[in-house]
Structure 1
């Protein structure tokens, strides 16, 4: 019981790689008890990629803090029975296995609902679980490309240059987590469970709704436009002294007047209104670039922020990790693993009046077998040994 709005909610994960586990990560950060079903014979690739010790893989550590892990061989009927017993005592199950895999295992929605009528069953697939393309599977680069985002990523006038692949996984996962919380609220009000069918491609497309609608209604095909923004100008990243870069987003006339004053551009009629700035955007960006070119990025950030302009240094990974603001806001958290080793993780992107405690690092494989099989499922020590000896658990 760690507090948080989802305290007392139990989530079972049948997930792999990033998007599915990211759902469990967010729910765990909200206070839910999240249990990963794993197997040594079918390890998540994030446990094995680039490491010898499956309990110290950075990718797995990043997306699975504050979770529990049990080992069950789901190729054995006895293993499926154990999973169903656990689901009967749970509130949510999340799966992002290959299309049709949960049904072939005997863990489809109808079967799980029979064991737990008010279960919230979250199914994640590239194209969802129904329709002519539902048989297809893929990873984050596929999600971003097929959802239309990759077409828009690139310098103005250039060919698309793809995008950070983690954006697709985390956005897909966040959409599924949001739907899960909504379904839990519905269940609290009505007593009804839900089957939630989440499509990765649709999740990506929802991020560019204005672009999709412009094509649907007007036939306009948008192309790469760098950092330009229809409703903001200037909006971009500008080189400063020592090859540092400054991000600026001017979202109002008031902000522009403040920026124009410190730039010495208050009397420039070319930039007097948003419409003028958009019409003369190349000249505007040249003026901003000339102003920032020989200036210290930190001094400019302070100057612009003090004058009500959204501005920040374009940060490297090292800059982000060292950012005192992120540390002071609790964005980074210190957690401890089973061996007592402490490490830092990226914590929740929110602050709440009822925050959940986040203290545990990602689990070792099968670390919580005794708790789940003994305390939750009521198996005796002898029964647990029998399952382990027969290879159903380990």
Structure 2
């Protein structure tokens, strides 16, 4: 099978993981990718972790993983680079504005209908466009570092490579969208992907929820304030750690009786699921901690799964390599590292016709210097309407709920697709609120307000959609679905695997009604394997995917983030797979089946650690705020008790730091002149910077350091970042003020990219419950007002919950 993007040629001129990862995803989908390297090699060749080969040289596991499916060409001159880029479809860069050097040369050489995919810390425009940034400083700017911290401890970044992976897949999404648009319009494009914005979308829903509520309830994220002594969201067992989603357990009494928590098992206060999350569950959490400390984590996991009660164990890199569910789904892929074939993570999703594939190991430096000709047939391009959005004319019928699936389909809607979201009056989207009232900060006695329409979580991830209600369990409701189907191109859902087939909706039945349909499913563990029907969510996927095993302070064994980060990660990959399938269908008319498992999609971002573990047996763990290669790389408290993140990632930025902060002795210290020397002196440098930062303000130092070329950021408190956005994100149009009929005016986050020829697309607020039912049924089925009123009276559709 060939990939969906086998008509695309990509020149990878990246200088960090984000651009390299975007390029690899293009390669996984069949694109011809050239890694254009300096004579010293791509930066990832020099990034830990390393493995020794038979010649005694060391090889980077990160390079082996993020740079497979590419050919390597060493760039010796601007003329050579211009010739290479001259017949490319896509150029990927990480160069910040203003452009210079090889990046400027390559951009100038790109054909008129070529696509420049720019991935930078803060975007190509706005006050911070020239500022450097990395995982630590971006975690600090968007709110993750403040949320992740334990009470009375320093802010905490996301695991060190995660921003690169997350923003890389976000860039891939926008790049494929530009390819789809070029196919129909003939127009090239500059796609400006901001890592700050792409990472913001992974935590922003909690901020909007908090801003609706008022106060600082989500200061520490959705899991609340954490201390080292307080149990949860991971509970220690005899052989590891486990997450309990007991707020959602329907068989509460059975589960707590099994776990030996008899004092709460029959408590009528907690037995009803509806409203349980609003109760004080801390005593239950403590009782669970006392009970499970002597039990086996897998015994607990399997028993709770039998009860359909959600939980998830912490799997480390070694356990992921031997995970029976992953093996049952043939998830793992193999590649070469250190001269031997090693196992690692595989595809983020299964595509039936154009699977993600490993077809070439990461190249040796300059391996293809004499073989850089185009390997793909050029994309067929027409000269069409240049004013339309990439997905104009694409229609999506979606059953997605909560975060991951709705976020993915929101990205499609922000790219111009007509996304119609289906709910049932008896089963609204859970993110509309499980028994929660209208939040305090937006209550208005002069408005008619429904709790279903005033939840910040739902309203954060459903922009530009239309919402309908339809009882799929009724004969007439199911018939209406089948009548509407031929008008749509994509059906998406994130139910348990059996739900759609119970309604008779399969790839075969869909194709009978709509040849060329794309049927995309997202679930916790995928549609096959022994865990396929096990319940899962973001909190359980963090441990199951390995994410929790590398997150936390240096003295942690494992930790969940403060905000269910697997959901947006899997949402990005879900959107990426659907877009690849749309491009393939546009070329061939062929639809396909997409099957994504949350556990696998997040584990893909553990692949470098899995690869290194398979080669060495070493299991990666939490690093706190430190970096495996660079120092100083930490957070420091200022004179007002605020925190400043500083990350030095080159000799140049080290010298700039020293000059800016008056560290002249350190600037001339030859033992600190390279990364290895600074890493060895890391604790001493941390102590020195702590003393210097304590005499100034984080805001002042951030500006001075960033203007000098040093990655630095004042750690921002979570909710205010989105309630009162920075001038930078407002200038770029990422955060926009919208008026919701029941919630009033708030700032909302939009797409993390700008397509230069189009600008930001128009944005509409998330729909109210069933808001577009009558409109959609009239358009699609010709229903009259009387028809609609009858259906509403029978409970098949409507705008209220039953």
RMSD: 1.9
Q: Equivalent residue for 2:792?
A: 388
- The answer to whether structure 1 residue 286 and structure 2 residue 687 are counterparts is yes
Q: Equivalent residue for 1:56?
A: 454
- The answer to whether structure 1 residue 370 and structure 2 residue 771 are counterparts is no
**1:40 Cα offset (Å):** 1.4
Q: Aligned match of 2:648 in 250, 264, 272? A: 250
**1:318 Cα offset (Å):** 4.3
Write out aligned runs for 1:223-372 (5 A): 223-263=621-661, 264=663, 265-321=666-722, 322=724, 323-337=726-740, 341-353=744-756, 354-355=758-759, 357-372=761-776
**1:73 Cα offset (Å):** 0.5
Q: What SS does structure 1 have at the residue aligned with 2:640?
A: helix
Given that 2:634 and 2:646 are in contact with CA atoms closer than 8 Å, whether structure 1 keeps it comes out as yes
Given that 2:739 and 2:765 are in contact with CA atoms closer than 8 Å, whether structure 1 keeps it comes out as yes
Write out aligned runs for 1:178-257 (5 A): 178-257=576-655
Q: Aligned match of 1:39 in 405, 413, 424? A: 424
Given that 2:629 and 2:676 are in contact with CA atoms closer than 8 Å, whether structure 1 keeps it comes out as no
- The answer to whether structure 1 residue 136 and structure 2 residue 534 are counterparts is yes
Q: Equivalent residue for 1:29?
A: 414
**1:166 Cα offset (Å):** 3.2
Q: Equivalent residue for 1:78?
A: 476
Q: Equivalent residue for 1:155?
A: 553
Higher helix share: 1
Matches of 2:742 and 2:685, distance apart in 1 = 56
Relative to structure 1, the CA distance from residue 3 to residue 315 in structure 2 (aligned partners, 3 Å threshold; closer, same or farther) is farther
**1:355 Cα offset (Å):** 4.2
Given that 1:337 and 1:360 are in contact with CA atoms closer than 8 Å, whether structure 2 keeps it comes out as no
Residues 356-379 of structure 1: CA distance to partner in whole angstroms, max 9, x if unpaired? 633321111111122211112333
Q: Equivalent residue for 2:512?
A: 114
Q: What SS does structure 2 have at the residue aligned with 1:81?
A: helix
**1:383 Cα offset (Å):** 3.6
Residues 156-203 of structure 1: CA distance to partner in whole angstroms, max 9, x if unpaired? 133323213331111111110111111111111111112111111111
Matches of 1:186 and 1:364, distance apart in 2 = 34
Relative to structure 1, the CA distance from residue 337 to residue 303 in structure 2 (aligned partners, 3 Å threshold; closer, same or farther) is closer
Residues 331-354 of structure 1: CA distance to partner in whole angstroms, max 9, x if unpaired? 112234456954321111111122
**1:244 Cα offset (Å):** 1.0
Residues 290-322 of structure 1: CA distance to partner in whole angstroms, max 9, x if unpaired? 221221111111111111111111111244133
Matches of 1:303 and 1:386, distance apart in 2 = 66
Matches of 2:532 and 2:403, distance apart in 1 = 20
Q: What SS does structure 2 have at the residue aligned with 1:40?
A: coil
**1:78 Cα offset (Å):** 1.6
Query: Which runs of 5 or more structure 2 residues have no equivalent in the other structure?
Result: 1-386, 439-449
Q: What SS does structure 2 have at the residue aligned with 1:12?
A: strand
Count of aligned residue pairs for this structure pair: 393
Given that 2:581 and 2:591 are in contact with CA atoms closer than 8 Å, whether structure 1 keeps it comes out as yes
Relative to structure 1, the CA distance from residue 199 to residue 340 in structure 2 (aligned partners, 3 Å threshold; closer, same or farther) is closer
**1:261 Cα offset (Å):** 2.3
Given that 2:777 and 2:783 are in contact with CA atoms closer than 8 Å, whether structure 1 keeps it comes out as yes
**TM-score (normalizing by structure 1):** 0.94
- The answer to whether structure 1 residue 11 and structure 2 residue 396 are counterparts is yes
Matches of 1:200 and 1:129, distance apart in 2 = 11
Matches of 1:370 and 1:308, distance apart in 2 = 55
Matches of 2:484 and 2:639, distance apart in 1 = 59
Matches of 1:232 and 1:348, distance apart in 2 = 31
**1:269 Cα offset (Å):** 3.3
Matches of 1:104 and 1:266, distance apart in 2 = 68
Q: What SS does structure 2 have at the residue aligned with 1:73?
A: coil
Given that 2:639 and 2:697 are in contact with CA atoms closer than 8 Å, whether structure 1 keeps it comes out as yes
Residues 259-278 of structure 1: CA distance to partner in whole angstroms, max 9, x if unpaired? 12223120233422101112
**TM-score (normalizing by structure 2):** 0.47
Matches of 1:208 and 1:46, distance apart in 2 = 28
Matches of 2:401 and 2:460, distance apart in 1 = 13
Given that 1:17 and 1:46 are in contact with CA atoms closer than 8 Å, whether structure 2 keeps it comes out as yes
